[in-house]
Amino acid sequence: RAWKDARGRFNLNMSEAKEFGSGKALRDKSWACAMGGAYVMILEMDIAGTPRSDLEDCGRLVRFFESTNFDQMAPHDELAFAGTKYVLARPGDSYIAYAPNLDGEIGLKGLKPGRYDLRWFDCATGKEVVQKAVKAAAANQTWPRPQGIGKELAVHIRRAGK
């Protein structure tokens, strides 16, 4: 309720996050925070003492979100379907679906029929695959993971033509 009452006037910044881990554990926690609509500042994570791979993981997360309209979305995990764990959405327009270890297909509940542009993102490598004007016919829609995208992924789903 607090998220809705704020109506976009504030952002949530999780600070003082300590011992966040490294590698996959760090990515899982950072993506969970982002998918909850929060920014995270990891205590004691600095340029000098942090493994380069962890800094690159953080950079990939930032690059993905800054290429979307995440600032117009809110958490909507009730829309998660199939292998989707978390959802950010501007229902009827755009969505980000995330899975930390996808088995099967990623999906959304209550999707309006139409055509959608999908931008798949491999959270571990940064590889992207774009699919344009993909038809969605069912309210509960799933999509198979494209070749080259690993099981740790996010997909930005936006009505075609936006």
Walking along the chain (162 residues) 10 residues at a time, the average pLDDT comes out as 70 76 94 90 87 95 97 95 98 98 97 97 98 93 98 98 76
**Strands 94-99 vs 74-75: parallel, antiparallel or unpaired:** unpaired
pLDDT at 41: 83
Task: Note the residue count of the chain.
Answer: 162
In angstroms, rounded to a whole number, what is the distance separating the alpha carbons of residues 22 and 40?
A: 15
Cβ atoms within 10 Å of 85's Cβ, excluding its own? 17
Stretch (H or E) spanning 97:
strand 94-99
DSSP SS3 for 47: coil
pLDDT at 3: 64
Question: Tell me, what's the pLDDT at 2?
Answer: 66
How confident is the model at residue 138, as a pLDDT? Answer: 77
Residues whose CB falls within 8 Å of the CB of residue 121, separated by 6 or more in sequence, listed in order: 60, 64, 127, 128, 149, 153, 154, 155, 156
